[in-house]
Amino acid sequence: MTMTETKSRLVEEIQQWKEKRNAIILAHNYEIPEVQDIADVLGDSLMLARAAAETTADVIVFCGVHFMAETAAILNPEKTVLLPDLEAGCSLADSITADQLRQWKAEHPGAVVVAYVNTTAEVKALSDYCCTSSNAVDIVNSIPADQEILFLPDMFLGSFVQKETGRDNMQIWMGECHVHAGIQPGHVDEVMAQHPDADLLVHPECGCSTSSMYQLSEGMLPKEKTHILSTGNMLKHSKNADASEFVIATEVGIIHQMQKQNPDKRFIAANEQAICPFMKMITLEKVLDALKENQHVITVDKETADQAKLAIERMIAIG
């Protein structure tokens, strides 16, 4: 059997098992192409959280990383949430623990905690709001201006939000996604020099985001061609913009969907090595095994889930 035939067989079996179990497949934009292609909902963290909250399916197969499946389980305690590979973790989520957050809160009594969705359920349970890159600015702007904010765990997203909102009473945790942090200003400068007419799309988690904001403010990057966006908004922009070339500063998995939506446009990675190994762990075989064997059920204890749910629901409601 050829690879194409094997893939077709797997896709057919997945569809059969999905119908048999009344399941929905949610996949993040960074997953491998063949997993993106079988998703019922493909999107960024906010879109997937909303889809998880609204689905009528009995089973949610979450093709992403562990914290995403946890979020779906918190929103759907009565449903079965499956993560096809339990090893699919997140270096950013690992950059702060619940104990570290408790200590940080004790040092800033009365502060409002805004946690990026890339965190564990235990950290979300200690937070007032969750956010994603697409609504972090809106969430911080919704909090009274005189209220101190603890923003965690991504320092690059935090710096972006602080600049966009002008908040000087915002404390930022020094965490990072090792993949996004590896997209440096030098990478962007080199690729943009080779493609001067391209639109530059930068994820605010990236190591180049701070320099891009500075270069924008100094006129070193053209405002009409430079856009700091969530992954979901990157997809929208690349589809609607008149540009024919785009330099993409985020994890490279998103380029598959961009190219699929825009076959006549060209997409160039700012750093071709920006590959998240965790996002690439889930395969068609693992999706099928999860459905057939009810494998890798993700649960969150009720006390933690109840505490985390309010922060997640606030995230879904804003922006």
Q: Rounded to whole angstroms, how far apart are CA atoms 28 and 31?
A: 6
Going from the N-terminus, what domains does the chain have, and what CATH number goes with each?
3-87+279-298 (3.40.50.10800), 93-178 (3.40.50.10800), 179-269 (3.40.50.10800)
Tell me if 188 is assigned to a ligand binding site: no
E strand or H helix at 252, and its extent? none
Tell me if 97 is assigned to a ligand binding site: no
User: pLDDT per residue over 189-247, tens digit each?
Assistant: 899 999 999 999 999 888 877 677 667 666 777 778 889 998 889 999 999 999 999 99
Q: In the chain, which stretches have pLDDT less than 50? A: none
Q: What is the model's pTM?
A: 0.90
User: Facing residues of 170 across strands?
Assistant: 149
The overall average pLDDT reported for the chain is: 93
Tell me if 91 is assigned to a ligand binding site: no
Q: Rounded to whole angstroms, how far apart are CA atoms 273 and 197?
A: 23
Tell me if 90 is assigned to a ligand binding site: yes
Distances in Å between the alpha carbon of 2 and those of 5, 7, 8, 37, 84?
5, 9, 10, 19, 24
pLDDT score recorded for residue 174: 96
Q: State whether residue 22 is helix, strand or coil.
A: coil
Tell me if 203 is assigned to a ligand binding site: yes
Tell me if 28 is assigned to a ligand binding site: yes
- Residue 41, C-beta contacts closer than 8 angstroms, at least 6 positions apart: 24, 25, 26, 27, 47, 48, 51
Strand locations in the chain (E) = 23-28, 41-43, 59-63, 80-82, 112-116, 129-131, 149-152, 170-172, 199-202, 226-228, 245-249, 266-269
Other CB atoms closer than 10 Å to residue 229's CB: what's the count? 20
Tell me if 276 is assigned to a ligand binding site: yes
Tell me if 214 is assigned to a ligand binding site: no
pLDDT score recorded for residue 210: 65
User: Facing residues of 61 across strands?
Assistant: 25, 82
DSSP tag of 111: P
pLDDT score recorded for residue 181: 87
pLDDT score recorded for residue 45: 83
Tell me if 208 is assigned to a ligand binding site: no
Tell me if 45 is assigned to a ligand binding site: yes
Tell me if 55 is assigned to a ligand binding site: no
